[in-house]
Amino acid sequence: MGFNCGIVGLPNVGKSTLFNALTNTAKAEAANYPFCTIEPNVGIVEVPDERLYRLAELIKPKKVTPTTIEFVDIAGLVKGASKGEGLGNQFLANIRSVDAIAHVVRCFKDENVVHVEGSVDPVRDIETINYELVLKDLESVERRLEKVKKVAKSGDKKARAEVEALERIKEILERGERIRPYLGEIGEEGQKVVKELALLTAKPVMYVANVDEEGLFEDNEYVEAVKEFAKKEGAPVVKICAKIEAELAELPPQEKEEFLKELGMEEPGLNAVIREGYRLLDLITFFTAGEPEVKAWTIKRGTKAPQAAGKIHSDIERGFIRAEVIRYEDLVREGSIQACKDKGLMRLEGKDYEVQDGDVIYFRFNV
């Protein structure tokens, strides 16, 4: 699994339409009324990567397997969710389990599509959800602080350090701010606390601006407002038209290409959502390539060769001897693995090697 991304937003902003397009299914019900999604829908999505299919052209394997990511369509949230309003508690429990958040924001006007707040204001919508997440995190921090303070009174140094970290985090949350932008300032103890409490506002976020067809080609005032807001947080913004993406998802490949050309688009907007998710979580892809199968694998940047091997099978990690590595660019240029070997472009790497994006690897192991 590449990563797990929760699709969140106010009710009726296009989350389920986006989910259906991403997963190319009708698994998530999409309808024009709030709280259409109650139980979270989960979909496995193939990661588009041209490199995989270029390798397949060279190797001509029996099977080609892309890496995948998981998207979770989570119930819409409203004001008061942190206190249980709407489907709040359920929403917050579901979001706690995801690695990253794709926050869908409505950036178009349409009188036929109701808005839970009665008007279109993307920044207000973002702040509504962020505020509820902050309140829930504050509740978690205060509860933990109350317990740890009792231990710290006995002179426990570890507890005292945690109290200091919790108070720093509490101060940020009391200002109504998310923890994510401050992770580098709260120290090692603070980061440990954030991880243990699984704080909602510490999760990486991308904002998905859902526009109408016209808004795809020129930023409207709503998209500009979202970009300005996201800039302050250092968060990325991806612009899509969920309605068009849903239509594209239902077309066969040939018709899909023709439709994209008609629209003046090079690729579906969903590809940008997936790529931005990769960047958000600092993920990279390596490949294994042989006659039986050419396969893509997703790992965190900085992963060492044995741990990358463990993605394939735990036995390979346990019995790791070395990795035979070819850069994707070298393999494509030379045209075959043998040609790379002949030119000395296959490297032998040991246990300390950090796998790079695009590496084509054959693992030697002995169990």
Check residue 76 and give its pLDDT. Answer: 59
138 closest CA partner among 173, 180, 166: 173
| Residue 62 assigned ligand-binding role | no
Tens place of pLDDT per residue across the chain (367 aa): 446 888 888 877 888 888 888 877 434 333 333 444 445 677 888 888 999 999 999 999 999 999 888 888 876 555 554 454 444 455 677 788 888 999 999 998 877 665 666 688 999 999 988 888 899 899 999 999 999 998 888 888 889 999 999 999 999 999 999 999 899 899 999 999 999 998 999 999 999 999 998 888 888 999 999 999 999 888 999 999 988 988 888 888 889 889 999 888 888 888 888 888 888 888 999 999 999 999 999 999 999 999 999 999 999 999 999 999 999 999 999 999 999 999 999 999 999 999 999 999 999 999 7
| Residue 15 assigned ligand-binding role | yes
- Alpha helices per DSSP H over 238-268: 242-249, 253-263
| Residue 42 assigned ligand-binding role | no
Separation of alpha carbons 75 and 11, rounded Å: 7
Q: Are 327 and 360 contacting, i.e. CB atoms less than 8 angstroms apart? A: yes
Check residue 83 and give its pLDDT. Answer: 54
Q: Are 301 and 282 contacting, i.e. CB atoms less than 8 angstroms apart? A: yes
| Residue 264 assigned ligand-binding role | no
| Residue 14 assigned ligand-binding role | yes
Find residue 365's DSSP bridge partners. 320
| Residue 119 assigned ligand-binding role | no
Tokens of 252: 């066969």
Tokens of 7: 């699709």
Q: Are 76 and 39 contacting, i.e. CB atoms less than 8 angstroms apart? A: no
Check residue 40 and give its pLDDT. Answer: 62
First-last CA distance in the chain: 25
Domains of the chain by range and CATH? 4-49+66-118+203-280 (3.40.50.300), 130-201 (1.10.150.300), 302-365 (3.10.20.30)
pTM for this model (two decimals): 0.81
Separation of alpha carbons 140 and 142, rounded Å: 6
96 closest CA partner among 140, 131, 37: 140
Separation of alpha carbons 274 and 98, rounded Å: 15
Separation of alpha carbons 287 and 51, rounded Å: 9
Kindly write down the DSSP assignment for every residue of 318-363, as one continuous string: HTEEEEEEEEHHHHHHH-SHHHHHHTT-PEEE-TTPBP-TTEEEEE
